[in-house]
């Protein structure tokens, strides 16, 4: 807590005082460019990765960067997605996984008897588990985790498409979806490219996932 309190003092005396005009503008409302959905992992900082400032990103975080499919029970994820599209008119939604993800380790090895809430939450990644079992069962564990992280982002993109606000905005041509993976150890950000069916450096990949894929998994030579 001492570090947090000290940080607040540095923010108030330094950052805030130097950017008063920005915060005065933000106090009147927000117009974020994108909804950024990522993991709660403390090693992942959306604003640091993208070098954005307050007001640029509307951020949704949870364990495993998961998007539950739309259904009769509307949780915080559904409400956040709907608000981002209908009230804030974001033009892009990014789902960003990351390397060394503990939630994806649990998808591959679900020893979660002491974490019943997490066990229940990861049922929203059941399609990820099945894709891994069907296509990648014989791979080494470290490679399997890397692929699981990538596949899960694509699974969550498909879950995202079940939300009425998302489908309506995409039909209007006013919303694009993006599948990213952040590599903690290298600082690289990889984006799924529709044309190649592969994750490429974000600067090289196409902008957005335009069409629903018949097969969730990434095209790989194994």
Q: pLDDT at position 41, please?
A: 98
Tell me the per-residue pLDDT of 150-197, one tens digit each, with 9 for 90 and over.
999 999 999 999 999 999 999 999 999 999 999 999 999 999 999 899
Q: State the DSSP string of 109-165.
A: S---TT-HHHHHHGGGGHHHHHHHHHHSTTS-HHHHHHHHHHHHHHHHHHHHHTSHH
For residue 76, give both structure tokens.
């915080």
**Sorting pLDDT into bands at 50, 70 and 90, what band is 124?**
very high
Q: Is the dihedral of CA 198, 202, 203, 206 positive or negative?
A: positive
Instruction: Pinpoint the alpha helices (H) of the chain.
Output: 2-10, 16-18, 20-26, 46-50, 76-86, 102-108, 116-121, 126-135, 141-161, 164-172
Name the CATH code of domain 31-201 (choices 3.40.50.300, 3.40.30.10, 3.40.470.10, 3.40.1050.10).
Answer: 3.40.1050.10
Instruction: Report in angstroms the alpha-carbon separations of 137 from 54, 145, 148.
Output: 42, 11, 11
Closest CA to 99 of 11, 164, 49, 39: 39
Angle subtended at Cα 123 by Cα 39 and Cα 66, rounded to the nearest 5 degrees: 25
Q: What is the pLDDT of residues 69-122, one digit of tens each?
A: 998 878 899 999 999 999 999 999 999 999 999 999 999 987 888 999 999 999
Dump pLDDT digits (tens) for 23-72.
999 999 999 999 999 999 999 999 999 999 999 999 999 999 999 999 88
CA distances from 39 to 2, 54, 100 (A): 25, 19, 11
Cβ proximity of 181 and 189 under 8 Å:
yes
Instruction: Please give the structure tokens belonging to residue 151.
Output: 């596949």
User: How many Å from the N-terminal Cα to the C-terminal Cα in the chain?
Assistant: 48
Under the banding of pLDDT at 50, 70 and 90, the label for residue 215 is very low
Q: What is the DSSP letter of 168?
A: H
DSSP tag of 181: E
Break the chain into its structural domains and give their ranges. Answer: 1-29, 31-201
């Amino acid at each position: 807590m001492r570090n947090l309190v000290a940080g607040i003092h540095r923010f108030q005396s330094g950052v805030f005082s130097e950017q008063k005009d920005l915060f005065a503008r933000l106090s009147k409302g927000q117009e974020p460019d994108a909804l950024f959905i990522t993991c709660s992992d403390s090693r992942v900082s959306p604003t640091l990765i993208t070098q954005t400032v307050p007001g640029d990103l509307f951020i949704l975080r949870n364990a495993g960067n998961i998007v539950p499919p739309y259904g009769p029970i509307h949780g915080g994820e559904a409400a956040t997605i709907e608000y981002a599209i209908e009230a804030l008119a974001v033009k892009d939604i990014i789902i960003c996984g990351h390397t060394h993800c503990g939630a994806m380790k649990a998808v591959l090895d679900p020893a979660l008897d002491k974490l019943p809430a997490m066990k229940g939450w990861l049922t929203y990644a059941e399609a990820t588990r099945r894709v891994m079992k069907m296509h990648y069962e014989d791979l080494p564990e470290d490679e399997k985790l890397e692929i699981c992280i990538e596949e899960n982002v694509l699974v969550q993109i498909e879950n995202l498409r079940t939300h009425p606000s998302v489908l309506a905005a995409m039909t209007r041509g006013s919303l694009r979806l993006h599948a990213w993976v952040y590599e903690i150890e290298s600082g690289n950000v990889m984006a799924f490219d529709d044309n190649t069916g592969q994750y490429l450096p974000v600067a090289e990949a196409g902008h957005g996932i335009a069409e629903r894929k018949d097969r969730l998994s990434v095209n790989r030579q194994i």
